[in-house]
Structure 1
Amino acid sequence: MNKISLLMAALLSSALLVACGKSEAPQAAAPAAPAAPASIVVGLDDHFPPMGFRDDKNEIVGFDIDLAKEVAKRLGMQVSFKPIDWSAKEAELNGKRIDVLWNGLTITEERKANILFTTPYLENHQIIVVTDKSPIKAKAELAGKIVGVQDGSSAVDAIQKDEKAAKSIKELKKFSDNVTALMDLSTGRLDAIVVDEVVGRYYIAKKPGEYRVLDENFGTEDYGVGTRKDDTALMGKLQKAMDDMKADGTAATISTRWFGKDIVKK
């Protein structure tokens, strides 16, 4: 083979090598949904017994706390509990300072815009509590009175939805927690408070003869567990664990421990 032939063969071989080395650039994969985390931080109001509160040893305990611990155990997750300003709960959640809201969180249409909820696990009412010696017997008698509520709670929304009652109330006084509101009720600085039934009846049971619950209330509502809207993987795991606990009786056992009976919504 002469020099020209050798040169041509070399060039052809190089061209073939280059051609064989080329490949189509891989297409970018569609972004995957966020995976469920290995640990979660639960945000709560630690003055909300019996759902979540501090006991005599300053440890956070409660019905929702026990539910969350059992769910985390079943999912193989670590769970920690972070007290937050309940009126800023959505900012805490969407700012990723917590992963879950689990503390008597009422499901509302307004909250659904920013929070992904489980199905309801507990039914609640917004009850009206007065002192035992109060002359108030009915909701209409709140007209011209000072009524206390927890700031950022669903009690505020429940009262505002009842336009007639809301307009008749002299002042709707907001507190950081229900404990302080009850103290002001006892000392006469309030005429009544509107509070979640599970919380109100828990306190009333501790001080028999001091408070009274009116027959009328500000409506029925459901509690759910909330995550960020895009945390669908975490929500799916939470929902399945909750469903399993309802089915196998674990949720009923936890409920009986705190309320004396099974009040879990199936």
Structure 2
Amino acid sequence: MNRLTSLLMMSLTAGALLAGCGRNEPAPSAQTQAAPPAAAASGKIVIGLDDNFPPMGFRNEKNELVGFDIDLAREAAKRLGVEVEFKPIDWSAKEAELNGRRVDALWNGLTITEQRRQNIGFTSPYMENHQIVVVPANSAIRTKADLAGRTVGVQDGSSAVDAVQKDAVAGSIKELRKFADNVTALMDLSAGRVDAIVMDEVVGRYYTAKKPGEYQVLDDHFGTEEYGVGTRKDDTELLAKLQKAMDDMKQDGSAARISTEWFGKDIIR
């Protein structure tokens, strides 16, 4: 009798389990899981930046994030009707931060390159830039050719690295020393630990203007490049909305106004 009761209970339990699973309600698979919502539809955009990259994005004396790109991004977010959060990141790991979904966009003097286009979706360019050479005011370096046998500093992960390495002078440089940021690189330049710095013109001009007589900028440079806003390649919705916002800002003069506030003239393209 106990054995019969036991078998009956086992049968009822198995039936209950099968009924609970339900043939019409299969467990979700990896393919049926809902994808994370696109940034443009989530009500918030997280923008990754280097917070030591004036005048594009940096901290002021109150430790507030300010800058030209900060103001552009805020204006764009307002037009999209979304909240914007600025997240400082390791700029040398920017693609990993973006594609790892820790940030939704990169907006901080991001140079458009064919190599980056493989992993990043870009808006159309909104600014042109050069990779300039900054040396001490009393330096004997006058041209790129004079960098032969010298130690040259660059920000790690910046387009300056590629610009120098692709140039004919690269093989003659004694050492290409990489720094976490341009501020540290300029400190080493002033201390004589490097002979020259290659950096974005918008940043270099900003710093050299703050310390007149300490630095000089060579006429030679390492090429012209373009800045764009970067998103994940699969986030086409956010990319399209940012592009429209930027186009509208150019047409109605908002971008020109922000540019004039930071650079004294309209350098938006």
What code does the residue aligned with 2:116 have?
Answer: R
What code does the residue aligned with 1:46 have?
Answer: D
Q: Which runs of 5+ in 1 are unaligned?
A: 1-28
Equivalent of 1:172 in 173, 176, 188: 176
Following the alignment from structure 1 to structure 2, what is the Cα–Cα distance between the partners of residues 46 and 83? 6
| 3-state SS, counterpart of residue 216 of structure 1 | strand
Deviation at 1:47, TM superposition (A): 0.4
**Aligned position for 2:8:** none
Where has structure 1 moved over 2 Å in runs of 4 or more? 31-37
Deviation at 1:33, TM superposition (A): 11
Asked if the contact 1:93–1:227 (Cα under 8 Å) also holds between the matched residues in 2, the reply is yes
Deviation at 1:32, TM superposition (A): 9.6
Equivalent of 1:204 in 184, 205, 208: 208
Matched, 1:59 2:64: yes
Alignment of 1:1-266 (within 5 A): 35=38, 36-37=40-41, 38-162=43-167, 164-265=168-269
Following the alignment from structure 1 to structure 2, what is the Cα–Cα distance between the partners of residues 103 and 195? 14
What code does the residue aligned with 2:72 have?
Answer: L
CA RMSD of aligned residues (A): 1.4
If the length of structure 1 is used for normalisation, what is the TM-score? Answer: 0.87
Q: Percent identity?
A: 75
What code does the residue aligned with 1:200 have?
Answer: G
Per-residue deviation, residues 163-218 of structure 1 (Å, max 9, x unmatched): x2110000000000000000000010010000000000000000000000000000
What code does the residue aligned with 1:237 have?
Answer: K
Following the alignment from structure 2 to structure 1, what is the Cα–Cα distance between the partners of residues 205 and 163? 18
Deviation at 1:98, TM superposition (A): 0.4
Deviation at 1:236, TM superposition (A): 0.5
Change (3 A) 1:236 1:32: farther
Q: Which runs of 5+ in 2 are unaligned?
A: 1-31
What code does the residue aligned with 1:118 have?
Answer: T
What code does the residue aligned with 1:233 have?
Answer: E
Task: Answer with 171-180 or 31-40: which moved more.
Answer: 31-40
Asked if the contact 1:33–1:233 (Cα under 8 Å) also holds between the matched residues in 2, the reply is no
| Structure with max Cα Rg | 1
Per-residue deviation, residues 96-153 of structure 1 (Å, max 9, x unmatched): 0000000000000000000000000000000000000001111000000000000000
Deviation at 1:66, TM superposition (A): 0.1
Asked if the contact 1:185–1:191 (Cα under 8 Å) also holds between the matched residues in 2, the reply is yes
**Aligned position for 1:12:** none
Asked if the contact 1:147–1:173 (Cα under 8 Å) also holds between the matched residues in 2, the reply is yes
Asked if the contact 1:34–1:233 (Cα under 8 Å) also holds between the matched residues in 2, the reply is no
What code does the residue aligned with 2:71 have?
Answer: D
| 3-state SS, counterpart of residue 178 of structure 2 | strand
| 3-state SS, counterpart of residue 94 of structure 2 | helix
